[in-house]
Structure 1
Amino acid sequence: MNLSTSGLTLHREGAGNWMISEDVLAFLEAHVSAGDMTVETGAGYSTIVLAALGAHHTSVTPAEEEADAITAYCVEHQIPTDSVRFLFGYSQDVLPGLDLAEVDLALIDGGHGFPVPAVDFMYLAPRLKVGGHLLIDDVDIWTGAMIVSVLKQEPEWEYGGRLARRTAVFRKVAPYVAREWCDQPAVVAKSRITRATRQTANGLGRLAQGDLAGLRDRLRRAAQLRAQRR
């Protein structure tokens, strides 16, 4: 797809251009067909490409001027926008009521402050169909990297690497499951030292108070929990 980006400034009321990488745009071209259901948090050149591909696309953005600039670009370049809709607002407010299911591709590229990317994931993951793709942009920021570290060890997600070193690609291979932390290997690994320290401190505190029965009960429950995880 040959669309000129010369002078294209879609963000900060025309003062900036936070264009997603060419590798991501190429991925969209390779994996999205006309009629596919797609959604993104944020708006930008990815929105234009998905419109040009004929996707039924939803963009969630609080910036109406971005939508105006995108629509004007599409009109100028004769790109139909009949199948594109903009939902204005912050993703954490819009996504809970999103009327989408069986999404073919979802792109998380809205707010990057904690916990917004995780909230975006929580609402988009169940709507993505099995076999669909999830893209998480700017994973060089910790809030995106955190999601990647968890999903790499979740059986429902197949990691496809990074595009241009900053956009993670996953394919959903099984229905989404919201697990408790103790059933998520990445979270357990990050929490092990802290929890062990806390449990030791609690045990020593009970021992100092002479609460041997309470200490024995804690040790018994800890052993049961370890056995359940095996």
Structure 2
Amino acid sequence: MEKLQELLKNPPLIHEEAPGKLTSWQLSDEVLYFINNNINEDSITLETGTGISTILFAIKSSHHTCICPSEKQVDRIKSYCQRHQINTDKIDFKIDFSEKVLPSLNINKMDLVLIDGSHAFPIPFIDWYYTYQKLKVGGKIIIDDTQLWTGLVLKQFLNLEPEWKLNKNSPPRSAIFTKIQKYAQAKWYAQQPYIVKNSYFLIFKAKVQNFLRLLYVGDFHKLGKLIGNQLNQLKIRQNKI
């Protein structure tokens, strides 16, 4: 705890926001304390992106994988750790983009995954897709920067999935989930509540547009089949009730 407090008081400048201008885009203190309290030297951890969190993983001495395309950022972290006598031997730095590294990465039974790399579409979804099965039940996944659309959608998606439970104390700009059950099988869209919820209007709109198009061109044969299919679906739904 003391080492984390010292790190937060004097955080190193790791990221380059403009040529020659360094800054530190770090996780919130709440998330860093959560990581600190939920991992130990036996934990298997992974993060996309790098920063103060990477130094914390080194302090906690977890079996950590850090995926980052910037060698300069990694060098700054190693330099800081060397100056402060923090061992980085248990960190496996993968200097590349996460979408290239994760598909072939052979790590299982992970305890914690931090998604905080590229926030551009579709990278956060790729990061989740290639790690969620490798995270053990009871493991944690942290999505940072949920004020951005990509992070927000991933948070909203997981919040409706029965395999995940949102930590009630998640900070405003991050989301912390616990994996509470295994995935029995690969899902199609109708088994994903978030997709179904957000597709009702779009499906209805598409059907109306198709109906009007067939009516406009006078294709009454296809129009009749369309109406028949909708009536059959309505009967199926009524029988299920």
Q: TM-score, normalised to structure 2's length?
A: 0.88
SS in 2 for 1:161: coil
Q: CA deviation at 1:76?
A: 1.2
Q: Is 1:199 aligned to residue 199 of structure 2?
A: no
SS in 1 for 2:56: helix
Residues 157 and 173, structure 1, Cα contact 8 Å, conserved in 2: yes
Q: Is 1:53 aligned to residue 60 of structure 2?
A: yes
Q: Is 1:173 aligned to residue 180 of structure 2?
A: yes
SS in 1 for 2:129: helix
- The one of 164, 189, 192 aligned to 2:197: 189
Counterpart for residue 8 of structure 1: 12
The verdict on how the C-alpha distance between 1:156 and 1:7 changes in structure 2, with shifts beyond 3 A counting, is closer
Whole-angstrom distance in 2 between the partners of 1:11 and 1:225: 57
Whole-angstrom distance in 1 between the partners of 2:73 and 2:122: 23
**Aligned residue runs from structure 1 range 1-230, under 5 A:** 1=1, 2=3, 3-5=6-8, 6=10, 8-12=12-16, 15-161=22-168, 163-176=170-183, 178-207=186-215, 208-211=218-221, 212-220=223-231, 222-223=233-234, 226=237
Whole-angstrom distance in 2 between the partners of 1:156 and 1:126: 11
Residues 130 and 175, structure 1, Cα contact 8 Å, conserved in 2: yes
Q: CA deviation at 1:196?
A: 0.2
* Aligned residue type for 2:219: Q
Q: CA deviation at 1:194?
A: 1.2
SS in 1 for 2:167: strand
User: When the two structures are aligned, how many residues end up with a matched partner?
Assistant: 230
Whole-angstrom distance in 2 between the partners of 1:194 and 1:164: 32
* Aligned residue type for 1:60: I
Whole-angstrom distance in 1 between the partners of 2:239 and 2:74: 51
Q: Return 148-157 or 199-208, whichever deviates more.
A: 199-208
SS in 1 for 2:120: coil
Q: Return 124-133 or 197-206, whichever deviates more.
A: 197-206
The verdict on how the C-alpha distance between 1:213 and 1:147 changes in structure 2, with shifts beyond 3 A counting, is same
* Aligned residue type for 1:80: N
* Aligned residue type for 2:229: R
* Aligned residue type for 1:184: Q
Structure 2: unaligned runs, 5 residues or longer: none
The verdict on how the C-alpha distance between 1:82 and 1:165 changes in structure 2, with shifts beyond 3 A counting, is same
Residues 20 and 45, structure 1, Cα contact 8 Å, conserved in 2: yes
Residues 11 and 24, structure 2, Cα contact 8 Å, conserved in 1: no
Q: CA deviation at 1:215?
A: 2.0
- Residue identity (%): 35
Whole-angstrom distance in 2 between the partners of 1:183 and 1:47: 36
Q: Return 96-105 or 185-194, whichever deviates more.
A: 185-194
**CA RMSD for the aligned pairs?**
2.1
Q: CA deviation at 1:191?
A: 1.2
Residues 182 and 188, structure 1, Cα contact 8 Å, conserved in 2: yes
